[in-house]
Structures are given as structure tokens and as C-alpha cells.
Structure 1
Amino acid sequence: MQPSHQQWLIPFAIQLIPSGLLFIGALWIRESPRWLFLKDRRREAMESLCWVRQLDASDIYITEEVSAIDSTHEAQRANVGVGLWQPFKALASRPNMQYRMFLGCMLFFWQNGSGINAINYYSPTIFASLGVQTGTVNLMTGIFGVVKAVATIIWLLFLVDQLGRRKLLIIGAIAGSICMWIIGAYICVVEPEQHPSDHLTSSGIAAIFFFYLWTAAYTPTWNGTPWVLNSEFFDPSFRSIAQAASTSSNWLFNFLVSRFTEQMFAAMGYGVYFFFASLSFLAFFYAFFLIPETSGIPLEKMDRLFGIKPVWRANAQLKEELVSEEQQFRTDIKGRAVHKENEGDSSNESEGPLAQ
């Protein structure tokens, strides 16, 4: 498309389609059961919870979850308080929660440190640095977007719950780092911008392959997983403030990367790829030593998850404890039911002679 008013207007208008679909879909989204319980709208909360779990209100699992939610809300009212400023006040006196918020915010540092937003905003420059001709740069950029979309769908439907959050971060960090090192090494050795050609060499095709491989490795790992983790790191008492802080940190790091990427390419050349490769390599250690697996852990148990060391064993250990506690809870429930039945039988026996 030739430079014109429509050149920016059409891409902007296309973005209104998914946002419009999101708005329409939001009209049918059910309210969070936890929020409804917090507001003492228990009938609506039970309906919403049963719809989410696809279980009857009498199911033992629903009984367990409602008990856990009620306990958490009681603790929130007693220790944190309800209101806009109460979580801020409580956060100031809880170093463990501040540390957890730091972990969540720094996930977005490592996410942006992978180079994704540099590539998002400067993909034509990057493809040109790989030796792609000007006429095919837009096509390559379009394929980059398609790869991201497909990988995102795979992540949503399969990977995030099958592999878990922690494994995805570790795999993505290592795979992304290797790809970036290879791309940087190619540009360092071949210098395609200094030796332009009317066609891609075999080494240039290999570099583009690793670029798309990096995209396929990054998208289902570091692209969306930090958002999932930040939604699960915190119990309902601090969840809102933590989400606000982590989202702000994402846009801060996004701004810094996008602001200085052009200057980095001008000053560092292929060194930019080595820079992002190094950050991805360091992200592996960050995820391995500091980020526990949150999959399958209720929000109400996150404090216990972060209290277990080492973090790479925390998920399995807590799940074992929760299974034991669940069995004890069910035993207690059954015991109470039997006790009530016995009381009812005793009452009927004592009333029998009087009725005669």
C-alpha cells in the first residue's frame, strides 16, 4: 500500500474487530464466585461456582471449595480488611508478599528481555538485518504474526495446563537463548547488510528458520505464561493490587525496550541478539530457582506454596498435603452426617413411646 491516510487507518480499524468481539462476549461472562461470596451474595455465588465446576451444589468438591473460600474471606477481613486502601496498608507490613510481588513484576522484565517487543516493533529492520530483500520484508513479518497466532492457540488449548507454567518458562528461556545466539552469530560472521545479495543464501534461510523457531518457542512460553502466573501468585486479599503492579511493570519494560531498540541496533548491530540471548539464558535461572509451579494449587493455598523450599519441589509437596487434608475433610463431613443420623434415630426412639 502506498503511503497515505489509509495506511495507518486500516490496520487500526482491523483491531476494532477482536476488541468488539471481546466486548460482546463480556456481556455473557459470569461474575467471579469469590467476589460474590465476599459481597455475601451466596446464592449467586453458588450458582456461578456450580456452573464453573459443572457440579451440583451438594457435591463434596463444592463443599470443600466453599469452605476454603469462606476461610480465606474471614482471614482477609480479620488481617487485611476490605476496601481500596486496606491491601496497601497490609502490603507495607508483609515482606513475604512484597517479595512475591517483586517476583511477579520481574517476570515481565525477563519477558521483555527476550526481545519480543523489539521484534514486534522493529521486525522489518530485523528481517533486513538477516538479509531479506525489501520487497519480501512485509511477507516475512506477516508469517511472523501467523506463527505467533498458531503457537498461542496451542499454548491456550494444550501446553499451559499439560506442561505447567514453570516448565514452559524454563523451556522457553533455553530455546529462545539458543536461537538468539545462532541468529547473532550468523549476522556477525556473514554481515548480510554489508554484503547485500539479490537472493537469500542457505545460511540466511537457516537464520530465518531459527528466527521463526525462536518465535514458536517464545510465544507458548514467555508470551502469556507470566500473565497466568501473576493471576495465580496471590490470594484474593492482594490479587487486585498485585495485578495492577505487574501490569504496570510490563508496560514500563515494554516502553524501555521499544524506546531504545533502534539505538541499540545502530550502536550494537549483531550484539543486540547476543544481548537478548544473554537475558534469556539468565531468565532460565530465575525461573528455575525462584518460580514455583502454581498449576493445580488453589488461590487460598498460595501462601503455603511459597513457604515450601526448594521451589522446584513445592508444588508436588503441597499437593500431597492437600490430598491428605482433603481426605480428612471428607472423613469429618461423613462423620458429622453419621452423627446427625444417629441423633435423629435416638430422637425418634425416645419419641416413640410418648406418641403411643
Structure 2
Amino acid sequence: MVGRFKVGNIYLIAACAVLGGGLFGFDISSMSAIIIIQQYRCYFNQGPNYTYGECSGPEADVQGGITASMPGGSWVGALCSGILTDWLGRKTAIQVGAVIWCIGCILVAASQNIPMLIVGRFVNGVCVGICSAQVPVYISELAPPSKRGRFVGAQQWAITWGIAIMFYISYGCSYIDSTAAFRLPWGLQAIPAIILFFGMIFLPESPRWLAHKDRWEECHEVLTLVHGKGNPNSPIVQKELEDIKNVCEFERQNADVTYLELLKPNMINRTHVGVFTQIWSQLTGMNVMMYYITYVFTMAGLDDNLLLSSSIQYIINVAMTVPALIWVDKWGRRPTLLIGAALMATWLFANAGILADWGEYAGPNGVDNVREASWRVTGAASKGIIACSYLFVASFAVTWGPVSWIYPPELYPLRVRGKAVALATSSNWIFNFALGYFVPPAFVNIQWRVYIIFAVFCVAMFVHVFFMYPETSGKILEEVEDIFTNTRPGSIPYVGTPAWKTRSGRDFTFRLEQGLIDTEKGEQSPGASHHENTTKE
């Protein structure tokens, strides 16, 4: 029963749950900071030079495989999480992920060779896949509608904090003159997972999952605890409980839901939107800036304090995510995604142009014996590369970074939400895997043209969002269903309301949360100003 739980504040609930996202951030920056230090490059060296301080490290394609093993495991974890969360619940699935992460950290920190390192990172990835898929679902099913974007987007903020914190830990450990330079950071990654596991004990289960399991009393208690401030008759509690009951009653006719349900004509549109939201977030090229920023800055001639200079982008990432958390529910999902795609394309095209016009081939050994840094640029042009890289990170952090996690859980009905978000998140990780493996040899073989590829993807995603992505901000999750099932004149069969005609529903839901609407009569309470219900076209 909910009475056992001590936490009903949604801010505290989100703060604990998003540690699952922070685990992914820890992994990104620990690898980014470590791949260029000599302790790592000598221990896992595959090149001809074995003298300490001159090692070239793993081959480019092997380093790509090491990096990609984590998202490879995440793809498996994300797919499995749909079944796991439907069986055990959102909360318990996240705790299972935390245990798996600790096992992976032990393997990685104790790695004796490259295969053991890859296995450990794969195990870590399974956890990240589970948590990255189910934390947004868990929070979206608990958060109030008008602030859902803020709380779900907090996962991205946790990722940025994880990146920044672990990067500086790795930077400090880089001065240790032994294998502890990389073993210590990899071992310390287990700490947030331990906090996540024990913290989740004091959090409530998702009310929608409880309703799906016919645990209505607990469902009502959770809604009262989180939204009603102890008042079971609060308008928002009554409205959400009524909507959940209506949806569950309808979905009783669909007892066993499989992944094939997501491919049916009435679901395929929102399935493709959710999946491509995660795919596009990877094809922005952000992984180039996260995993391999040290390669980019090496090409730009930052020989001194390379790790410290690279870390500035992580500070930008943390800071620029904050405006999105505060205002994303006012901005809406569509404008945020469109503006982000346009800005990122601009900076990527600029980087490609600078490298093409002012850069030169660095030779087969690259810059400073870093083969992946195959292109050299100096002078004012190098400052342009650094500036565009920072601007790119800032543009991603305030747009696609948080919204790519916020948007998918909002698209689906309750009966398929767990599996649908798992499928969408798995697409994120399979592309993360591909790009993690692709980028090091791509820098060697096609050099600056890597930026052109990602810039073209940003243009494509702008067009896709404009025509296919409906606005979901501010709507109760059950209300979003009307967008896709709308059969009124002007709607598109199996698509519903055209994406460019949808609007935010925040006015209605804000008034509902403030008790300005009588949920029994469907009218405004006395004294409330009149506003049109913007959830209706």
C-alpha cells in the first residue's frame, strides 16, 4: 500500500528516478576522457609502439567496437524492458537495471583485456537500456500534465550532470601513473546506481501500471499522494482517475499486447514517430561531440589542457538544458524540435566548411599519434571549429536533448506504452551502437565529411518533424489518443489530426490542476476566467 511510502513530492520522485539517466552520462564521459590518456592506450595497445607514453592504443575499428558495446547492450536492455516493466512494474524494472549496472561496473573496472572490457560495457549497457526506456515512462505516468515535459526532461539533465561529473573525475584520475587512472573512474560509476536502487524503495509505483493490474485502491492512493496533496477528492485526482478507468475499460478487450500491436494500421503512425524521435536524436551527430570530442579538439590544435578544454562543452550541456526544463511545456514539442534541427544543421555545415577550406590532412598517424584525428586545422579556423562545436552542444541541449526523452511516452495508449517506449528507446541504442562504431574509422577515412553527413540528417529531421510530429504538450496522456484517432473532416486516415494543426493543451490542464474546472459537470468553477479547451481542434 502507498502508506508505506514516504515520498509524494513529484520533484523528489523525479530527482531520484532520473539517476537512471545519469548512469548513461557517466559512461559517455568516462570513455570520452579515458580514450586519449596513455595509461589506457598502453594497457589496451594494439599498435607497434609499446614504450610507455608513446602507445597508439586500440585500432580505430576496435576502439569503435569498445565504445559501441555499451549501446549494443542498451539495445538489448531496452527491448527486454518492455516485457520486464509490464511484468514487475516501472519501479521494480528500474531497480533491476541498477543491480545490472553494478555488475557491469565490477567487470569493467577489473578488465584484463579488450574482450573483458567489451563484455563489461555490454552489461552496463543492458542497465542503461532498461532505465532509459522506463524512467521516462515512470515519470510521465506520475507527473502532472502541464509540467510533464519538465520532469521527464530532467532525465536529460541528469545525463548532462553525469557526463560533467564523471569527466572531471576521469580528468583528475588521468594524473594517476598506473591502470588506476581508468579503473578508478569505472568503479566509481557504481555509486549512483546504488543510490538509485535504495532511493526507489521509497517511491510510489506508477498509478497507471497499478490500474492496468486492477489495483485500483493503490492507484487512487498514489494519485492522491502525488497530485492531490492528501485530498482524494481533488479535481485533478478525480479527472485522472476517471480517464484512467475509461481507458482501462476499453483496453480490457485487448488482453495480451505484443510488439506486433505497434505495427497495426491504427498504431503504425505513432510508432514510427516515437521510433524516429530517438533515431534522429542520435543522427544529430551529438555522439561525435560527446564520445569523441577529444579527437575533434586534437584536430583543432588543443594540445595543452585538452581534457580541460573539452570539458567546457559538458558545462554548456548542463547549463543549456535548464531553460528547456523550465519552459519546454510553454514552448511545446514541435517548435523546440524544429528550431533545434535548424540550428544544429547550421553549426555542422559551418564546421564542415571550415575544415574543408582551412584544414589539411595530418598524415597516417594523425595529430599527436591519435590516428582518428586525421585532419589538422590551426589559427583562427581552429577557434571557429571550437566555437561551432560549443554552439552545436548548446543547441542540442536546449532542444532535442530533453525532448527526445519527453516525447515518446506521450504518444501511446496505456496498454502498449511500456513496450512502445521500449521499442523507441531500443532504436536510439542501436543507432548509438552504429555511430559509436562508425565515427572513429570515419574520421580516419572520410575526415571532415563526417560533419556533412550529420548536417544532412538534421535537415531531413526538420522536414520530418514539420509534417509528422503532432503537438502533445500540456495534454493528459489519455487526451493524446484523440490526436491519432480523430476521424473528423480534414483528418488523415490512420494518422488523425495533421501534425501542423495541433496545438498545446496546457491552458485546459493548468485550470484543471488549479481546481478551476468542475470535473463532474465539465464546467468552470465560479470565478474562473473563460478559456477555450485547447485540446480540441
Aligned residues: 326
Gaps of 5+ in 2: 1-36, 40-177, 368-375, 487-495, 525-537
- For 1:1-356, what aligned pairs fall within 5 Å after superposition? 3=39, 4-55=178-229, 56-78=231-253, 80-81=254-255, 85-88=256-259, 90-91=261-262, 94-129=264-299, 131-156=300-325, 158-191=326-359, 194=362, 201-306=379-484, 307=486, 308-316=496-504, 330-331=520-521
Report the Cα offset of residue 283 of structure 1: 1.0
- Tell me how far 1:77 sits from its aligned partner: 0.4
User: 3-state DSSP class of the match of 1:31?
Assistant: coil
Q: Is the 8 A contact 1:186 1:207 kept in 2?
A: yes
Tell me, in whole angstroms, the C-alpha distance in 1 between the residues paired with 2:276 and 2:258: 21
CA RMSD of aligned residues (A): 3.1
Q: Distance in 1 between matches of 2:281 and 2:258?
A: 27
Amino acid in structure 1 at the alignment position of 2:347: C
Q: Helix, strand or coil: the match of 1:37? A: helix
Deviation track 1:309-341 (CA, whole Å, cap 9, x = no partner) reads 321222358988999xx979542699xxxxxxx
Q: TM-score by structure 1 length? A: 0.82
Contact (CA 8 Å) 1:235, 1:301: kept in 2 or not?
no
Answer whether contact 2:351 2:388 (CA < 8 A) is retained.
yes
Amino acid at match of 1:109: I
Q: Which residue of 1 aligns with 2:46?
A: none
Task: Considering fraction of residues, name the structure with more helix.
Answer: 1
SS of residue matched to 1:96:
coil
Residue in 2 aligned with 1:339?
A: none
* Distance (Å, rounded) in 2 between the aligned partners of 1:252 and 1:271: 23
CA deviations over 1:89-118 (Å, ceiling 9, x no partner): 6445x3121221122111222111111113
Asked if 2 retains the 8 angstrom alpha-carbon contact of 1:235 and 1:300, the reply is yes
Residue 302 of structure 2 aligns with an amino acid whose one-letter code is: Q
- The structure-2 alpha-carbon separation of the partners of 1:321 and 1:245, relative to structure 1 and needing over 3 Å to count, comes to same
Residue 351 of structure 1 corresponds to none
How far apart are 1:249 and its partner, in Å?
Answer: 0.8
After superposition, the Cα gap between the structure-2 partners of 1:192 and 1:147, relative to the gap in structure 1 and judged at 3 Å, is farther
Contact kept? 1:305, 1:315, Cα under 8 Å: no
Partners in 1 of 2:289 and 2:509 — Cα distance? Answer: 44
String of CA shifts for 1:197-238, please: whole Å, max 9, x gaps.
x99623322321121011011122222312211111101111
Range with bigger deviation, 28-37 or 245-254: 28-37
Aligned sequence identity (%): 27
Tell me the distance in 2 between the aligned counterparts of 1:272 and 1:208: 16
Comparing 163-172 with 134-143, greater Cα deviation is found at 134-143
Alignment gaps of 5+ in structure 1: 335-356
1:75 Cα offset (Å): 0.6
Amino acid at match of 1:125: Y
After TM superposition, the score normalised by the length of structure 2 is 0.56
Deviations 1:234-255 (A, max 9, x none): 0111101102211211111011
